Structure 1
Amino acid sequence: MTFDIALFLAQDGIVNAAIYALIALALVLVFQVTRILFVPQGEFISYGALTLAALEAGQIPATIWILLGGAVASAVMTTARERARLGRLRIPAGQIALVAYALVVVALVTWLAPLKPSMWIAIPLTLALIVPLGPILYTTVFEGIARASNLTLLIAAVALHYALVGIGLLLFGAEGARAAPLSDAAFVLGPILITAQSVLVVLATAAIMVLLYVFFSRSIEGKALRATAISREGAKLVGIRPVHAGRLSFLFASAIGTVSGVLVASLTTFYYDSGFIVGLKGFVAAIIGGLASYPLAVAGALIVGFLESFSSFWLSSFKEVIVFALIIPVLLWRSLRAPHTERE
């Protein structure tokens, strides 16, 4: 391996690590707040990338039906829970607003999509379509079993993953799609060529990390999420609603996943199930951080990104095996260090 090749592989590893870091942060956030190991995190990436590609091609993205159907299902289920709790029919104002929002976004996308909107219009439309799916999925799938065991929540997350993959195949088909880059610019730094798209991926990841830090350290909502992550019972005692915290954490997870999909939509061809492998690599990074530490999760993403990049040069056929095998020594080490306690 020459020095030039090593620099090229390092650049590729940094770009990959940036995406894996975002996924890992979303997984840690959701797990800390809700105890849910959110297996379908990668689906937000594939849905976001495919929706953006459809808008660029002048097609109406099939995700409009997921948003509209999910909003109606969320309103119905929330109303049923309110009736069981209060003994009378009451439709929460938030659910009415959600359905109205879905109708407005669907109408807007249906109008603008055939016009082949520019990238700077297609991206906000993509975010408007996919980001609300996070709290919708929490309300329809997890809210009713929020107090269930971790195993039950994991089973529900796996089932949701398979359902979303099947829906993706039904709506998008088996053919892949690829979006245009946000910028075609490139510049030479020493022996390597750096594209503007790669720089945007890294800068966007850094910006999201800074925004998350400011949100969790300065805002009331962020402090409420931190309190819920530390102790759900303690958070309830001081007036923090776990349901609201759960929806907010899923909103952040879907926003992070959608932004990741928008960023990488031009770097590779995406299929309906492409997000699963990307999400698994983010999961490996989150495991390195113990599903508890955000800085360690980012460090784990750097390890995964560089390991994948350099192993693709030395052992291309086994690069996926090498990355996923990394989780074995990490789990073994944590198992030996962690105190063993008997729990129900």
Structure 2
Amino acid sequence: MTILVTGAAGFIGYHLSSRLLREGQRVIGIDNFNDYYEVQLKRDRFAQLLPDPNFTGVELDIADYDKLFELVRTEKVEVIVHLAAQAGVRYSLTNPFAYLETNLKGFGHVLEASRHAGIKHLIYASSSSVYGANEKMPFSVSDSVDHPVSLYAATKKANELMAHTYSHLYGLPTTGLRFFTVYGPWGRPDMAYFSFTKKIMAGEPIDVFNEGRMLRDFTYIDDIVEGIYRLIGHVPQPDPSWDRSRPDPSGSYAPYKVYNIGNNKPVELMHFIRTIEKSLGREAVIQYKPMQPGDVPATYANIDGLMKDVGFKPDTTIEEGIARFAEWYRAYYGEAKEAEQLAKAASK
């Protein structure tokens, strides 16, 4: 089938596109290559995909509805996996308009394109951040998520509401995926594990918030991709048993579904840092700081729905995942540094 992946030069988008191509699918990958973090990393991810004859890469911003719809129509796209978004909790505190433009307006464009093109299944990225002020653990998709603590989280909750509206009005099958702290090779430099690694390698101190006592359901990228891949063919159907008097937010009388994808094993941040130290063979210089606005003390995913519907449970350990990331980091940045030094030498 022909699958459109938005944000294909992003962390999850790149890995998902790679998996789909290995499975023989035709992938249309789009990205706007914005400068939220280093653009060269996005270019390098995209460059890994371009040689595949089943991959069509297009530089396109979902804020441009006309171009987006024309692409979906002319390429006869059947499924959309929407991963393009303005990410980051802390960035949303100082750059709110980036979230309103991409996460709300942009998602509206994706919904409209899906509706008018007759898309068979729209899968989109939500976030564990939607659980906000909730304290009941583990977080369940059946819980209310009406108290976000960051604008980023609020836009992701809004995406779920927008998707349900289109499922209700137009019968568009939509699946929302609440990702829990994704990490791994080719990851995002703005994520804590990435910046920790960079600073530890450089001998610089790292900032650790809330005395390192935060718990996170760290989820390895391959597990995230496996979950998405299995759900592509699992198109949501209307649930005739859905009870309007006791509405479950994870499903609907419309073709709508929401899932958590998390490791289901929360890890204390300090253990995560010690694992990075071990993989790098270096000790971190730690500066402890108070909790940041918009952060939550813990995340922990209930993945019963994922296991029940597609028989999958993430199982990559922190030790395995961090070792693979550290190996990639040394190779990618080691080679990049060597190339830079050679270029400087040649210019002299």
**Pairwise TM-score range, normalised by the shorter structure:** under 0.3
TM-score, length basis structure 2: 0.27
The structure with the greater share of residues assigned to strand is: 2
Tell which has more relative contact order, 1 or 2 (C-alpha 8 A, sep 6+).
Answer: 1
TM-score, length basis structure 1: 0.27
